[in-house]
Structures are given as structure tokens and as C-alpha cells.
Amino acid sequence: MALQVYSTLTRKKEPFHKKPGDAVTMYVCGPTVYKPSHIGHMVGPVIFDTVKRYLTYLGYKVTWVVNITDVDDKLIVRAGELKTTVPELATKMTDDYFDCLKKLNVTGIDQFPKATEHIDGMIAMMAKLIEKGCAYPADGDVYFDVSKDQDYGKLCGFDPEQLEGAGREVSGKKKNPGDFALWKGAKPGEPKEVTWESPWGPGRPGWHIECSVMSQKLLGDTLDIHGGGLDLRFPHHENELAQSESASDKTFAKVWMHNGLLKLRTPDGKEDKMSGSLGNVLNVADAFDRGVSGELLRFFLISTHYRSPIDLGTWDPKTEPLPSAIENARKAFDTFIRFTERFQRITGQSFYDSLKVDPRRTLSVDMSGYLSRFGEHMNDDFNTGGAVGVMFELVTTLNRTADLNRLEDSAPKRDDRSLATFGEGAMLLKEMGQILGLFQQKPEAAKLGGDDNLVAGLMSLLIDLRNNLRTTAKGIADKADPTKKALFDQTDLIRKRLAELNVTLEDRPAGTTWRVG
RNA sequence: GGCCCCGUAGCCAAGUGGUAAGGCAGCGGUUUGCAAAACCGUUAUCCCCCGGUUCGAAUCCGGGCGGGGCCUCCA
């Protein structure tokens, strides 16, 4: 099956309209930079980064733009609370956002246009809309006239007439209740740095116009893919679409993709949103501090289909540092981490640095099945959940290969012929990881605290001592010998006491390793 | 009230007409001095309920019940 993508506009999966090798443009609505990013803010970037990675893998030339909204009511309010300026707050929070993206391997965004750097373009588009009769100035503001847009509401299936019934009123300045602001006239007392001159008087842009202007300037009148969170469908995307198509008379976006939102419940089972007042906001930085790696978070977010809500379950931040759903994801993701460690023990190469994947290589029959099934899932509207399942199956197969052929044993016992198969499968796993944005950064081992060199030295000392005892004990042939038992009791005591300190010892053919956790 | 989505094992989660992927947890086994890790086996006669279409439905249609999103600035 060729690539199919679900479009919110038509509410069905459609064959992707481009041929491999073609250029593809993608625009995704980005953050309003007024607060540090919480994990919910990462859903969209991770999903669409994965979309770009897969399209790139298929041979498309993707250009991806994400806007930064750096002027807005929330920024003005927040800057006031913090006794800082809007530009300073925006810069700080933009840096926080970039830092989060980097840790989550979101590397595919080509440009981050800022709203404040495109005011001229917005003024030009508003002038055009007014000239075409689609918008009107009103006492310092400029509004879009939804009654002039024949198909307003088509993205969400809303009837403009019905919008009137839902508690919306025609304010003094608006002609229709559904009209929305393109330009907001400056109010007395608003800071200078959020005020720009315009033909309709000083003011600042409305929310939606920036995306219409910046996407058109950087990617043209018609986007191949427009993306964002499901919550942005209305009003933001509906309004963007209305403005852009009214201005250009062309299709604004061929495909609209909307990702599901993060869901969570507080212990009373009633609230289902992260909110500052409930204290259940999990900032990305907090998650990192609590031992969640960027790749683990990414793995968690792509373990389910992007259009489904991501369920964090019930979380009581007072008693649990992390939602249990993330702890469960950690256990699952550890399977891959352990495999990468095993790969290094067997081949002496780092899974993260040394493996260079050549996508043109040929695969043996038994390995090509995994890749084709992985591709079938990804072709089906980027079904990352199914694709991850294939990766688990591949790891199991590789571990079985390593077990059966004793690849961790020393040379005489090892069946070297199977090493090639093992290496081929590992390369395939690496390639799948690259497509999903995983295995790009070597995970930092959990630490015990204190001086790292000292800890490593002491652990080495303990392991050597313990292995001396084990060697001596194993050398005693008589199974009933009390000395043999006494020696093993000592080695088990060492392991037990270390376990109490959250250190796990693992005895392997090639030696003993230790890890935290 | 309007528009839309979802309901698969203890939990998470693929599967949209051909007889239920995968993960976590559990149980049994192999391996190991014993563990850990890994591997093998096992865990849903059935996919919220009722009716219908069909040779055949978790998948399509109708009706319930339950959960969720959006309806002017929340990613």
C-alpha cells in the first residue's frame, strides 16, 4: 500500500498527492512563547518531525516551517506579572522551547519565523483583504468578514449561522458574530514594544494572520501539509484557511493533519488537563530532571497513533514524580537500550556512533520482512504504534540470534557466521530508529551521585573482589562443600547490599557489569 | 444545543470485511553457582450492548450505553 494520509478537511485517508523526489512543504503551528514548555507542547513537534523523517526516507524533499508567536495577550499579561518586557520573555521562552526540541531529536524544522518580524506582510495581506471586500476596519481594529467567505466553516464542519447561537454576540465593532480580529488597535497603557504603526492606526496583529502571512511568504500560496494540535482546528485553522484562501484564491493546504492531545486525570478523577492551579503541569525540563531522557519521552509520544489522545492516566504529582504511563514506557524502552548495550558487547562498536546506515543496501529475506511491515504501518497514515511493535519483534529476533549462537561468548563457542545476520538486523533497527527519531543520542547512564570516577573505581574494586570469590567457589568441585557455600553467600551478600543501593549487578560470559536501577 | 472522535486482555496499544500485532504486569520453563538480562511457552473462543447486511464483521449499517475533543485565542 502506498502512503495514505488522513485529512481533517475530508475526514478520510487519502493517497498522498506527491511523488517521491518531489518537494513537499509543511507548516505546523508553533508555540506562543510565554511559559516554559510542558510535555504536551512536544506532541506536535515530535509527530511532525517523524512525518518529515519518514517522508524524507521515502525520497521527498521536505521543507518544514514552524512559527513562533512572540506577541499576544498572554505574553503581555505574563511579562507584566514577571516585571519584564514582552521581547525579553519571548526570547527566554523561545530558548527553552528550542532546548526541548533538541533533546527530543526534533531536528527537522527548517525555519522558525517570528510574528513580530512579519508585521509588514500582515499589513499587506490585510490591505488586500480589505480591498477585496473580505475584511473591514472598525475603529482602530480590522476584522475578517466571515459572511463574505462562501465556504467558511468547511474545515470544522461548522455552519456560520450556528456560531451565532452559541453565546456569541455581535460586539459593537463586528458585523457578524463569527468575525475575528486581524488587527487589534492599541489600548491605552499597552507597552510600546507591542505596538506597531498601520494604515488603520497603531496596534498589533490578531492571532491567525501571522500563520497565513508567514506560510505564504516562506512556502507559497498552497501548502502540501498543514499541521497542528486538534485544539487549533477551531478557530485558529479555520480562520487561517479563510484568510489565506480569500487573499490568494487558491487552495491553502492540500492536507490538514491534526494530532491528538495529551490527557491526564488528577486523583479525584475529574480534571483532565494540565493546569498551573492544580499543580499537575509536567514541564519538559522537570521530566528531564526526574530522569526521563528526551528519547524516552519521544518514544512515549509515538507509541500511540498520532490522531489518538495520549493517555497519561491518573497522576498525583504530590506522591509520584512521574505519571505511571511514563514509567511503563521507560520499562518498554529499556528493552531497546539493553539491546544497544548488548550490541556493543558483541561487536565492540557503539550502536549510536559507529553504525552508518546505507538505505540502498540489500537485505536478506528474513530481515526484509520486518522492514516491509514497518513500512506498511508507516504508510498507513504514519502508524507509529504499529511500527514500534515491529521494532520490538525485530529486537526479540536479534536477541534470539545472539542467544542461540552464543554471540557474547568467547571465540571457540561463538558461531561467527551468524554475526553477519545479527549485524544486518541491528542496522535495520538503527534505520527504523532513525525514521522515528530514536537512537540518535547515547543515553546517559543513571548516576549514583558523588564523584563519578570514585564511584566507578569503587564499583570496579567490589566487582573484582566478588569475582575472585566466585572463581574460588566455582573451583571447588564438591557441591556440598561448606566453604563453597560460604563463599557464594558472600558474593550474594555483595549483590544484595548493592541492590539495596539501587545498583544491579549482571554476571555475563565476558564479565560483570553494573547499572543503576 | 451543534460538529467531530473513540470504546480491543489486569493495564497500554496495533488491527476498518477473511477468522485477534506488540509492550507492561502475571504464571510455567531454558539459561545462570544463585540472580539479573535474554530466550521459549502461556494469558481475549473473542473485540461496550442490541439488532441488521454478508458465505464471512472487532471491522459495514441502524439503535442504545459509556468516554473524549472543539464551538473566539489552550499545543
| End position of a domain, from candidates A214, A240, A259 | A259
The model's confidence at residue A174, banded by pLDDT at 50, 70 and 90, is confident
| End position of a domain, from candidates A227, A259, A291 | A259
The alpha carbon of residue A322 and the mean position of all alpha carbons in its chain are separated, in whole angstroms, by 18
For the cut 50, the answer to whether the pLDDT of residue A166 exceeds it is no
∠ CA A247-A248-A252, nearest 5°, is 105
Q: State whether A430 and A501 are in the same domain.
A: no
For the cut 80, the answer to whether the pLDDT of residue A295 exceeds it is yes
Nearest nucleotide relative to A310: CA against C1':
B12
The model's confidence at residue A332, banded by pLDDT at 50, 70 and 90, is very high
For the cut 70, the answer to whether the pLDDT of residue A93 exceeds it is yes
Mean pLDDT, residues A15-26: 93
**CATH number of the domain bearing residue A220:** 3.40.50.620
Q: State whether A221 and A370 are in the same domain.
A: no
Q: State whether A400 and A359 are in the same domain.
A: yes
Residues 225-264 of A with CB under 7 A from strand B: 228-235, 259, 261-263
Distance A203 CA to B14 C1' (A): 50
And the C-alpha cell for A18?
Answer: 506527491
d(CA A47, CA A30): 13
The alpha carbon of residue A189 and the mean position of all alpha carbons in its chain are separated, in whole angstroms, by 39
Q: Is the ipTM of this complex over 0.90?
A: yes
Statement: the CB of A29 is under 7 Å from strand B: yes
Q: State whether A92 and A193 are in the same domain.
A: yes
And the C-alpha cell for A204?
Answer: 498589533
Statement: the CB of A386 is under 7 Å from strand B: yes
Q: How do beta strands A4-7 and A12-15 pair? A: antiparallel
The shares of helix, strand and coil residues in chain A, as percent rounded to the nearest 5, are 50, 15, 35
The answer to whether residue A284 sits within a structural domain is no
Q: How do beta strands A141-144 and A135-138 pair? A: antiparallel
Q: State whether A110 and A230 are in the same domain.
A: yes
Distance A149 CA to B50 C1' (A): 45
The answer to whether residue A45 sits within a structural domain is yes
Query: What was the pLDDT predicted at A223?
Result: 95
Distance A489 CA to B27 C1' (A): 29
For the cut 90, the answer to whether the pLDDT of residue A445 exceeds it is no
Query: What was the pLDDT predicted at A80?
Result: 92
The model's confidence at residue A168, banded by pLDDT at 50, 70 and 90, is very low
The answer to whether residue A340 sits within a structural domain is no
Q: Which nucleotides of B are covered by protein (CB under 7 A)?
A: 1-6, 11-16, 21-25, 32-40, 68-75
Q: Which of A92-96, A107-111, A228-232, A444-448 has the lowest mean pLDDT?
A: A444-448
- Domain membership of residue A91 as a residue range: 18-259
Q: State whether A359 and A501 are in the same domain.
A: no
| End position of a domain, from candidates A436, A471, A494 | A436
DSSP A505: E
Q: State whether A412 and A474 are in the same domain.
A: no
Query: What was the pLDDT predicted at A506?
Result: 95
Query: What was the pLDDT predicted at A10?
Result: 87
Q: State whether A484 and A428 are in the same domain.
A: no
Give residue for cell 500560496.
Answer: A221
Query: What was the pLDDT predicted at A125?
Result: 96
DSSP A277: G
Statement: the CB of A181 is under 7 Å from strand B: yes
Distance A444 CA to B32 C1' (A): 28
The answer to whether residue A376 sits within a structural domain is yes
Query: What was the pLDDT predicted at A410?
Result: 75
Compute CA distances A192 → A137, A197, A204, A303, A377, whole Å.
Answer: 22, 11, 10, 46, 52
Residue numbering of the annotated binding site of A:
29, 211, 236, 240
Query: What was the pLDDT predicted at A167?
Result: 41
Statement: the CB of A310 is under 7 Å from strand B: yes
Distance A62 CA to B51 C1' (A): 49
Statement: the CB of A272 is under 7 Å from strand B: yes
More reliable by pLDDT, A135 or A279 = A135
DSSP A484-497: HHHHHHHHHHHHHH
| H runs (alpha helix) in A7-153 | 43-57, 73-81, 86-103, 119-131
| Contact indicator for A448, A503 with CB cutoff of 8 Å | yes
Cβ neighbour number for residue A63 with a 10 Å cutoff: 19
The answer to whether residue A471 sits within a structural domain is yes
Find the radius of gyration of the CA atoms of chain A: 28
For the cut 80, the answer to whether the pLDDT of residue A139 exceeds it is yes
Query: What was the pLDDT predicted at A360?
Result: 63
The answer to whether residue A493 sits within a structural domain is yes
**CATH number of the domain bearing residue A429:** 1.20.120.640
DSSP A148: G
Mean pLDDT, residues A196-202: 95
The answer to whether residue A303 sits within a structural domain is no
The model's confidence at residue A158, banded by pLDDT at 50, 70 and 90, is confident
Q: State whether A365 and A231 are in the same domain.
A: no
Residues 68-97 of A with CB under 7 A from strand B: 72-74
For the cut 70, the answer to whether the pLDDT of residue A163 exceeds it is no
The answer to whether residue A293 sits within a structural domain is no
Statement: the CB of A178 is under 7 Å from strand B: yes
Nearest nucleotide relative to A491: CA against C1':
B34
d(CA A123, CA A132): 14
Q: State whether A413 and A466 are in the same domain.
A: no
Q: State whether A249 and A137 are in the same domain.
A: yes
d(CA A423, CA A363): 11
The model's confidence at residue A446, banded by pLDDT at 50, 70 and 90, is confident
Cβ neighbour number for residue A508 with a 10 Å cutoff: 11
Q: How many domains does chain A have?
A: 3
Q: State whether A132 and A190 are in the same domain.
A: yes
